[in-house]
Amino acid sequence: MGADVSGNPAGDAIRMNILQIIRNRLRALTQKGTLDAEMEEEIRAHLEMRTQDKIREGMNPEEARFSALRQFGWKESIKENCREQRGVNWLENLARDLRIAVRQMFKTPGFTAVAVFTIALGVGVNTSMFSALQAVLVRPLPYPNADRLVQIFRTTPQSQRDPHSVANFLDYQSQNRDFEAMGVATDKPFNLAEAGKPAESVRGVQISAGFLTMLGIQPVLGRLFTAEEDRPGHDHVAVLEHGYWLRRFGGDPNIIGHVLRMDGEPVTVVGVMPEQSYDIMLTGPISVWRPLAFTEDQQRNRGGSFLKCYGRLKPGVSFQQAQAEMEMIATRLARDYPDNNSAQGLELVPLSESALPAQGRAIVWLTMVLAGFVLLIACANLANLQFARTATRLRELAIRGALGAPRGRLLCQLLTESLSLAFVGGVVGIFVAHWCNRLLSTQLMIDHESVLKLPLNLRTLGFAFAASTVSGLAFGLIPAWLASRTNVNGALKQGARGTTGDRAQHRVQHTLIVIEVALALSLLAGAGLVVNGLRGFASLDPGWKVDGLTIGYLTLPESKYPNGNALRTFNDRLQETLAALPGVESATLCWTMPVTQFNVAGSFEIEGRPESEKGHSPVRFLNGVTPPYFGTLGMKFLEGRNFVPTDTTNHTPVVIINEKMARNFWPNESPIGKRVEGEEIVGVVTNVRFPANPAELKTPFQTYRPLAQEPRTRLVIAVRGNLSGDILRRAVAQLDPDQPVSDAGPASARVGSSLDNWAVGSRLLTCFALLGLSLAALGIYGVISGFVAQRTAEIGVRMALGARMQNVLWLVLGKGLRLSLFGTLIGLLGAFGLVRILGSVMPALPASDPRVILFVATLLLSVTFFACWLPARRAARVDPIVALRNE
Amino acid sequence: MQKTELLQGTLDMLILKVLQREPIHGFGICQRIQQLSDEVLSVGEGSLYPALYRLQDQGWIESEWGQSENNRRAKYYRLTKAGRKQLEVENVGWERMCLAIRQVMQSA
């Protein structure tokens, strides 16, 4: 290793005396005056000694003094060089630049206001989106070592996020080595009855033993569940959610040991959860936690999949390692139990990211990107404004450059100005974000409760800071760079007659405008398509009459209705009671209503046809209904007949299928009398779609069974006739006062509340688009105004030479319109790209609707036309005499 | 008399060396380097003072006001402990470089 040829010894200084350096620099900062005075005196002493020296050599005193001065060189420059050695020069420069920046802000309050406002909007919207992104995609989990928590999904050819069966879960649990603990949960509503209070349906979760311990939760009162409480018969215990404990029981500290009647059984409260929200499934607030006791039958069941599975990795076990192990277990299960497990996989997702499926994540990311567009437009706008402003200062900059200010320093100063503007904008932006967050969290709801908390935490504030820095750099860098390389001669010469700026600058400005317009068009097109798509979706016929239908949900406790006969008796009586109510045209009971989806699905094979490959059987939605179901919902029979009471007593179970299934499997023949999974098809009805689920547009295969054939504890009541939900409650209370009806009300309200979140999204996009449009219009207005101001003299000459007002008007308008047309053309490309992405995320949207694109393009062009027309009119009214006199 | 330009980066080393014997003021450093090099090397004030301030900032030298020979207040520079070490470092580096350059120049 040879020595550095330049031999710079300072570079070798490994043993720098750091403390000494810090002391020196602090001194340089705090005692600048003293140090400068000392420097001055030192130089004076030096000069004197030199003079003395020269006098000794025989010069006369006067001559010696001048000679010494000459030899010394330019004192101020040397002093500046010395000051730079103190190592704090940059700080002093920064302070000076900041002072100048602040002075500039106050000197041009109009510009400052526009700039701060624009940045605040851009940064605010993005920060708000970022907090939403954070809250939804990477939820901060209130559990210790939450990075080791995962959710485990079962993947099938049909779905990426299927639940698990009990037997499978027990195998995962016994066969894995990489998990510290594994647990399952399933949500279940409980009917809570207390003497003197009306029955209430509360949202509950049933969890396997050790589930809460796995998460690392400590109760604030009482205890969690013990291992014994995991067995059937011992599970009559409950842990209350903190908020529910406060609301329902007034935060009673003596609640432990209190016995509640849940689903008709006595259940003892053993604990109260801590205060944080433990909504691990993001299905809305949970009120009660109960043990999940598996019966022996369940422990052998691999077909019924209803469990959500979670796990905590052992310390030091990597995510990939655990994933590999679960894949191995899945392969083993597929081999050992091909009937239920073939073509299935197991996928780990970090718990913090598992709340939203891929589609939801895509929507959130997309929204974030679109918010980014708004910020980009804001930056482009400010860059143009900054151009106009630096143009008026080119002279000053040129002179400073000529006097020896290094280009870097000028660049730094201009950048400091734009950055300080950006930071002020960012601070205001945080308020904007706060306001947006409040608005968003009150608008986005699950079951009428806003579950999304959007706090402004350190990370979001960091994001706001980063966004302002980036935008400050983005809108400051190009103008500053162009200004700092100004040709001194040119600037001084032109400066005398009002700067025209150079060509490069105009090119950049025009490019920025084109980009702004293009981005704005993409935003408008995206928003237009979503709004239009949702409106189109809402007006689609779902295949059943939503209006005039009142629905309610009922869950009967197994303890009171332990078997099919008990349920059937209750159902029959309820059906009769409902039908007899005044004002009821027809009434029905069913497993599920086609609002967002059917809750029950299953794969099937058609008898007499070759079986599908294992795991690739077609899937149909199943619903159990009483005979008046089809009439009540307004569906029509295409073939065959409705269910009759004798259907249940016959040997062969019967089903009714939908048109889609009939057409798909019996395209050229009647399906009546054919058999599916041992069931005989007796009728074909029209298709129904889910009017509240724009993500699921394809009509699925649907099969209806008689309710009496397989009565379930969870029921939906539906009656036609304009009734209030209370009537349903009273009708049920007549039969069993312990059973509450939840969410009773018009079906249209249920559909509407599910669609509301989509509507919030489309409003959000519309806001982005309008913001983008206004900013782009403002930008083009600014640039064209600048163009007119710079060329007032030229316009004056033209008019003096006989140009008419119209010519001038078109000169200016043409310039602006060329830019916006060009931007629109590029924007169309962007719009088509965006539409494709949107279409893949929200299948309900039409792939691309030319009318929407045409509409937004026209809107954009008209707005930009108006933005150009204002300055153009001003130009056309230029009085040649005034214009030339100003020259 | 012909004066030779100082090799880039060697000024710091020369200043440290000159200060090794006793504290001197800036003007004295100029003169001392000139004398010791038999008037071959001359240090301009334009590079001397920034170098002094730089060395001071690094903590290798420190300064103190004192009386000059003709009773004038002058700033005297003195080597610190860190400066002594630095001088050793630079000396070694310099020797190595001289040797290397000589080898290159003497090669056939």
**pLDDT higher than 50, residue A601:** yes
Asked if A793 and A705 sit in the same domain, the reply is no
Asked if A382 and A481 sit in the same domain, the reply is yes
**pLDDT higher than 70, residue A116:** yes
Give the pLDDT confidence score for residue A140 in this predicted structure: 67
Exposed, middle or buried: residue A197 (CB in 10 Å: 0-12, 13-18, 19+)?
A: exposed
- B34 at interface of A, judged by CB pairs closer than 8 A: no
- How large a percentage of chain A has pLDDT more than 70? 90
Question: Do A43 and B85 make contact, defined as CB atoms within 8 angstroms?
Answer: no
**pLDDT higher than 80, residue B7:** no
| Cβ neighbours of B82 in A, within 8 Å | 15-17, 20
Which DSSP state fits B41? B
Please tell me the least confidently modeled range out of A237-241, A299-303, A508-512, B102-106.
Answer: A299-303
**Interface confidence (ipTM) of the complex:** 0.84
Mean pLDDT along residues B47-70: 85
Asked if A564 and A668 sit in the same domain, the reply is yes
Which DSSP state fits A274? -
User: Please, which pLDDT band fits residue A337 given cuts at 50, 70 and 90?
Assistant: confident
Q: How far is B35 from chain A (nearest CA, A)?
A: 14
Asked if A205 and A347 sit in the same domain, the reply is yes
**pLDDT higher than 50, residue A243:** yes
Asked if A649 and A769 sit in the same domain, the reply is no
**Angle A250-A254-A258 (CA atoms, 0-180°, nearest 5)?**
95
Q: Which residue of B has its CA nearest to A47?
A: B27
| Residue A372 located in a structural domain | yes
The structure tokens 């002094």 sit at B52
| Residue B2 located in a structural domain | no
Angle between helices A503-539 and A805-841 (to 10 degrees): 50
Asked if A703 and A650 sit in the same domain, the reply is yes
| Residue A649 located in a structural domain | yes
User: Please, which pLDDT band fits residue A773 given cuts at 50, 70 and 90?
Assistant: very high
Asked if A714 and A830 sit in the same domain, the reply is no
First and final CA of chain A: distance in angstroms?
68
Q: From the list A2, A9, A49, which residue is nearest B27 (CB)?
A: A49
| Residue A628 located in a structural domain | yes
Asked if A533 and A488 sit in the same domain, the reply is yes
| Residue B36 located in a structural domain | yes
Asked if A174 and A270 sit in the same domain, the reply is yes
- B91 at interface of A, judged by CB pairs closer than 8 A: no
**pLDDT higher than 70, residue B85:** yes
How far is Cα B32 from Cα A884, in angstroms, rounded to an integer? 69
Asked if A562 and A510 sit in the same domain, the reply is no
**pLDDT higher than 90, residue A862:** yes
| Residue A103 located in a structural domain | no
- B58 at interface of A, judged by CB pairs closer than 8 A: yes
Could you tell me how far CA A402 lies from the centroid of its own chain?
51
| Residue B54 located in a structural domain | yes
Q: Which residue of A has its CA nearest to B47?
A: A78
- CA distance readout (Å), A23 to A18, A28, A83, A87, A88: 9, 9, 16, 12, 12
| Residue A48 located in a structural domain | yes
Count CB neighbours of A459 within 10 A.
13
| Whether the Cβ atoms of residue A731 and residue A573 lie closer than 8 Å to each other | no
pLDDT, tens digit, 9 for 90 and up, residues A89-98: 677 778 888 8
**pLDDT higher than 80, residue A825:** yes
| Whether the Cβ atoms of residue A530 and residue A765 lie closer than 8 Å to each other | yes
Q: How far is B63 from chain A (nearest CA, A)?
A: 11
pLDDT, tens digit, 9 for 90 and up, residues A669-700: 899 988 888 888 999 999 988 888 776 667 78
Domains: count for chain B: 1
Count CB neighbours of A599 within 10 A.
14
| Cβ neighbours of A12 in B, within 8 Å | 89-90, 93
Domain of B51, CATH number, reads 1.10.10.10
| Whether the Cβ atoms of residue A411 and residue A401 lie closer than 8 Å to each other | no
* Boundary of a domain, candidates A354, A374, A394: A354
| Whether the Cβ atoms of residue A95 and residue A412 lie closer than 8 Å to each other | no
**pLDDT higher than 50, residue A801:** yes
Q: From the list A16, A24, A46, which residue is nearest B26 (CB)?
A: A46
| Residue B48 located in a structural domain | yes
- B59 at interface of A, judged by CB pairs closer than 8 A: yes
Long-range Cβ contact pairs of A396-400 (< 8 A, separation 24 or more): A397/A483, A397/A484, A397/A486, A397/A491, A398/A486, A398/A487, A398/A488, A398/A491, A398/A492, A398/A495, A399/A488, A399/A492
Give the pLDDT confidence score for residue A2 in this predicted structure: 39
| Residue B1 located in a structural domain | no
Which residue would you say has higher pLDDT here, A295 or A503? A295
**pLDDT higher than 70, residue A719:** yes
| Residue B88 located in a structural domain | yes
Q: Which residue of B has its CA nearest to A26?
A: B57
Give the pLDDT confidence score for residue A844 in this predicted structure: 64
Domains: count for chain A: 4
Question: A273 lies in which domain range?
Answer: 146-354
Which residue would you say has higher pLDDT here, A343 or A525? A525
Mean pLDDT along residues A186-205: 79
Beta bridge partners, A289, equal A205, A239
Which residue would you say has higher pLDDT here, A401 or A439? A439
| Residue A743 located in a structural domain | no
Angle between helices A747-790 and A407-443 (to 10 degrees): 160
User: Please, which pLDDT band fits residue A505 given cuts at 50, 70 and 90?
Assistant: confident
| Residue B52 located in a structural domain | yes
**Which of B45, B84, B90 is the best mutation test for A, with the most CBs of A within 10 A?**
B45
* Boundary of a domain, candidates A321, A354, A387: A354
- B8 at interface of A, judged by CB pairs closer than 8 A: yes
| Whether the Cβ atoms of residue A775 and residue A378 lie closer than 8 Å to each other | yes
| Residue B5 located in a structural domain | no
Q: Average per-residue pLDDT in chain B?
A: 85
- CA distance readout (Å), A870 to A19, A67, A547, A782, A828: 63, 67, 50, 10, 26
Give the pLDDT confidence score for residue A158 in this predicted structure: 65
- B76 at interface of A, judged by CB pairs closer than 8 A: no
Asked if A701 and A839 sit in the same domain, the reply is no
Question: Do A45 and B82 make contact, defined as CB atoms within 8 angstroms?
Answer: no
Asked if A336 and A414 sit in the same domain, the reply is no
| Residue A3 located in a structural domain | no
Give the pLDDT confidence score for residue A615 in this predicted structure: 65
Q: From the list A15, A53, A78, which residue is nearest B45 (CB)?
A: A78
* Boundary of a domain, candidates A669, A704, A738: A738
